[in-house]
Every structure is written in C-alpha cells, then in structure tokens.
Amino acid sequence: MTATTNPRNRRAFIILGVAIAIYLVTSLGLLPLYDQLKASSSTVSDKTDDLKRYRRELSHRGNYDALKTDTRKRLDELKTHFFTNDATGSADLQRTVEDGARSVGIDLMQRSTTQPKKIDDLTGEVVMTTTFEATPNQMVTFLNQLRTSPKIVTVRNAQIDPLQVVFEAPKTGEVKKTWRVNLSIVGATIVTPEEKAK
C-alpha cells in the first residue's frame, strides 16, 4: 500500500487539524481565561467592600472618642434603673418596698430578702418576700408605687386571701374588707464586668 493522499483525504486531515487546534485553544486558553475573569469579578466586589469599610473607618476616625463617651454616658444612665448586684442592692430593694408600703399606710409583717442571683451574663435578680394586711385600695396604690419606681421592680408571685370569709351578708355591722397578702417582689440587677470575670 502506498501512502498517497488524494484531495479528499487531504481535506479530512486539514479539518482534523483545525478541530484539534480549536480544541486546544479552547481548553487550554479560553476556558482558563473565562474562569479567571469570573473569579476576578468576585475579587473586585470583595476589594470594593474592603474599600468601603476602610473609608467608613477613616470617616469615624475622629469620632471614636465622642462615641465612647456617649456610650459610657448612656450605660451610666441605664445603670440607674438597676439595683447593684451585691448586699447593697438587696438593701435598696428592701428600702424601696418599705418606703412604698409606708407611704400608703401598709405595715409589713414579715419580710426577707435573698442574695443577688445571676440570671445570665448581663443581668441578675434580688428577690424579696413579704407578708402584710391591706385594703384593696392600699394594695392597688402600693403596686402602682412599685410599678413607677425609678428602678426595675416586678411582682413575681402574689397570694391574696381575705381576712374574713363571708358566706352571707352580716346581720349587723360591716364586712371587714382587708386582705392578707404574700408577695414575691423581684428587683433587676446588672452584672458588672468584674463579676463577669468570676
């Protein structure tokens, strides 16, 4: 057999050579270039975000001292609404409750205050339980005074029983409208950074 090429075979080899050349140019040149261009668009967006952050930092550069003092001032203002997380906080809660009761004419019979208890990383609570006798009007006024207290005070449990149980209207005299009240009063405390470290 002789190696002669006729024009038909020559055209087939030329087409095969062109196809191989197109394949090599596409797979080794165009596709990697396309992947690189595709990746560079995400790189450009990342660099743009970094540049925006940098510009923001530059614009805030002189304001950090003002922002820190403003934040400290707001935190100090918020701390006035919380009891301290120590024995002084327990005493402050007891004083707040006693002053409110005294102003409406309630005589507290029993009272006990617990040590501050940590709830989470930022807050804690002080619980005071108390027993007293009061009329419905005194009770409502007392609870309103606790609600409007400058510090955060809530009533967790309330047990209210009448002193005189009436099954029928009395024939002489009036029914005594006094309640025996057991309250669990909770004062919110704020945990200081030193206590967080413990």
Query: What residue ranges do the domains of the chain occupy?
Result: 7-61, 87-196
Provide the strand spans (E) within 39-178: 108-113, 117-118, 123-134, 153-162
Distance in angstroms (rounded) separating the CA atoms of residues 195 and 120: 12
What CATH code is assigned to 87-196?
3.30.70.60
pLDDT score, position 197: 52
- pTM above threshold 0.95: no
State how far Cα 103 lies from the chain centre: 35
pLDDT score, position 66: 80
29-33, 108-112, 148-152 — which is least confidently predicted? 29-33
Half-sphere exposure of 140 (CA within 13 A, CB side): 3
Query: What percent of the chain lies above the pLDDT cut of 90?
Result: 33
pLDDT score, position 193: 63
Given pLDDT bands bounded at 50, 70 and 90, which one contains residue 187? very high
Average pLDDT over residues 3-7: 71
- 141 or 195, which is more confident? 141
Residue 195: how many CB atoms within 10 A of its CB?
A: 15
Residue 185: how many CB atoms within 10 A of its CB?
A: 24
- pLDDT tops 60 at residue 80: yes
Q: Which of 184, 91, 194 is nearest to 131 (CA)?
A: 184
Distance in angstroms (rounded) separating the CA atoms of residues 94 and 151: 12
Q: Which of 149, 162, 84 is nearest to 123 (CA)?
A: 84
Per-residue pLDDT tens digits for 15-72: 999 999 998 888 888 888 888 888 777 888 888 999 998 888 887 777 777 878 888 8
pLDDT score, position 41: 78
